[in-house]
Chains A and B, each alone.
Chain A
């Protein structure tokens, strides 16, 4: 049966990865540095990559949550349901979700780095021979990912806003609260878990993406952790790509490769699991309310 064939393939992939990679996993590997030789099985660690990935997704949430949540609030609470403008926004959000990730990479390079960063350099550092903002950097990678994950946050927030009973809003309005007060103090707190789910799903999606950060910030190798927003960074998902395609001896570096994959998978699965648990709890609470 097809269902079980799919599950069997899934089990095969995960089994292969975890069986081969689980053994190489140790605190030294996760928290160790890679500054001597990142292809050396005995000493290389993945801490710089874990740090880089964490930095870029945390920064991304700072950008994506405010924009995504306000858009969702506007769409569900304020926008007239059938106006052409609302339809255009919805269509755009839907479409954004289907744009290939490499196209976001191109967008990040063309818009954030060349247009925004380049302009900043012209005004802020007209004398600097080297570009300061107009180059691949942590902040541009985060912004690119924020644009990419915007639909995830909007859809999750909208879903949780729509699940809140209309009676709650009406009761608040009947007690004399303004529309804004109702949204901020009654609706939003109820929707918080849903927003959180959206944020976590966005993070887990972004953590595994490589294509959008290829040109916007990920570094093949860096001797130190990124110090500022304009530094490049090493990245866990990109490191999987580097280790599997650029390794000088693929058989020798296999343990690091599998170990890195396991760390990446554990990270994304853990985030997904948290999101699923929160969502299940929200749905239970809502059923009780309704």
Chain B
């Protein structure tokens, strides 16, 4: 397993000691890992600095906090997923704090963060996108459809970093002035911007599913005296419902995997809170923000890769479900034709 091979225990980290006199005998890569430096930092230091660091480490071992937490390997599953009574806290807590002295890797704050922003995004994007898809595919004049569809799909041409920039610079200030909540960047703002990225995904899949409902359904409904609106709402939409579901699932996959928008607009504080107006840290933003600072192959690095693997698994399942549902729906609709 990705995490099995690592041990983040502070006691373990300080167990072995290389005295400065051994400087010449240790291979550079080994020394770099021992000192916990990135390659770049390591290259910039001369021998004296490195030796100083080595003696500092010996002092650090002597001063190691007399803290039972220092003995823990915090990359074990129970610390990754469950609450723990850390020293100095009055009750068991879920904490993501990988660069503190005791590396705390609880994933729950990040899960909540990702779910919160995704929830806001879907709540905003799905109804809008599906209503638009219903209108464009069933009610709009064919000539109007010719430019409405590419117009909405233009949204997918906007790079996510631009949406993130817009959320950070314009939307964040606007909504704070409007609602007056304390944290300028939060799950709500990030979720709205994320919704803009999700709309074209949900729209084009739902539109495709709605268009593939045979014309005869609508014609039969119209012949029986229903209005166009009734035919679209009560006949076509129910017939294409699995497609709408698939569009939502694929939109979920897109939203939970989006990085730049949430990195820029969510505030990135890893707190456990279901309040949408609190600053929030998501899985993707955590990887993006922290990976550059980690030691290659170290425990922090590996936990971030674990997050990547989890994201991959979640989007994999979402895509699989979405594709299967669409495939079946199309088979059924086209088979009856």
Chain B residue contacts of A245, Cβ below 8 A? 168, 264
Contacts A98-B250, A99-B312, A100-B259 hold; do A106 and B291 have CB atoms under 8 A apart? yes
Mind listing 18 A-B residue pairs with CB under 8 Å? A2-B128, A2-B129, A2-B132, A2-B135, A10-B151, A99-B257, A100-B259, A103-B315, A106-B308, A109-B291, A211-B160, A211-B284, A214-B288, A238-B161, A240-B161, A261-B165, A264-B161, A264-B162
Whether B82 sits at the interface, judged by CB under 8 Å, is: no
Contacts A3-B152, A244-B168 hold; do A98 and B318 have CB atoms under 8 A apart? yes
Whether B43 sits at the interface, judged by CB under 8 Å, is: yes
Q: Which of B298-316 contact A (CB under 8 A)?
A: 304-305, 308, 311-312, 315-316
Is the beta-carbon distance between B199 and A130 smaller than 8 angstroms? no
Chain A residue contacts of B157, Cβ below 8 A? 204, 268-269, 272
- Nearest CB of chain B from residue A113's CB, rounded to whole Å: 9
Whether A145 sits at the interface, judged by CB under 8 Å, is: no
- Nearest CB of chain A from residue B303's CB, rounded to whole Å: 12
Whether B158 sits at the interface, judged by CB under 8 Å, is: yes
Q: Which residue in chain A gives the minimum CB-CB distance to B125?
A: A6
Whether A137 sits at the interface, judged by CB under 8 Å, is: no
Q: Mark A197-211, 1 if CB is under 8 A from B, else 0.
A: 000000010011111
User: What residues make up the interface of A, taking CB atoms closer than 8 Å to B?
Assistant: 1-3, 5-7, 9-10, 13, 16-17, 94-95, 97-103, 105-106, 109-110, 114, 129-131, 135, 204, 207-211, 214-215, 237-238, 240-241, 244-245, 250, 254, 257, 261, 264-265, 268-269, 272, 276
Is the beta-carbon distance between B155 and A98 smaller than 8 angstroms? no
> Which of B135, B136, B259, B264 has a CB less than 8 Å from the CB of A102?
B259
Contacts A6-B128, A244-B165 hold; do A101 and B323 have CB atoms under 8 A apart? no
Chain B residue contacts of A13, Cβ below 8 A? 158, 163, 166, 196
Is the beta-carbon distance between B162 and A261 smaller than 8 angstroms? yes
> Which of A102, A237, A254 has a CB less than 8 Å from the CB of B288?
A102
Q: Rank and list the top 4 A-B pairs by shortest CB-CB distance, nearest first.
A: A208-B159, A100-B257, A2-B131, A98-B319
Whether B287 sits at the interface, judged by CB under 8 Å, is: yes
Q: Mark B145-179, 1 if CB is under 8 A from A, else 0.
A: 00010111011011111111110111000000000
User: What residues make up the interface of B, taking CB atoms closer than 8 Å to A?
Assistant: 28, 39, 43, 127-129, 131-132, 135-136, 140, 148, 150-152, 154-155, 157-166, 168-170, 196, 199, 203, 250, 253-254, 256-260, 263-264, 284, 287-288, 291-292, 296, 304-305, 308, 311-312, 315-316, 318-320, 323
Is the beta-carbon distance between A100 and B131 smaller than 8 angstroms? no
Is the beta-carbon distance between B159 and A237 smaller than 8 angstroms? yes
Bound-state Cα–Cα, A117 to B152, Å: 41
Is the beta-carbon distance between A106 and B168 smaller than 8 angstroms? no
Chain A residue contacts of B287, Cβ below 8 A? 102, 105-106
Q: Which residue in chain A gives the minimum CB-CB distance to B163?
A: A13
Given A10-B154, A95-B320: 5 more A-B contacts, CB < 8 Å: A6-B199, A13-B158, A98-B315, A106-B308, A210-B161
Bound-state Cα–Cα, A276 to B146, Å: 13
Interface centre among B250, B253, B312 (most CB of A within 10 A): B312
- Nearest CB of chain B from residue A12's CB, rounded to whole Å: 9
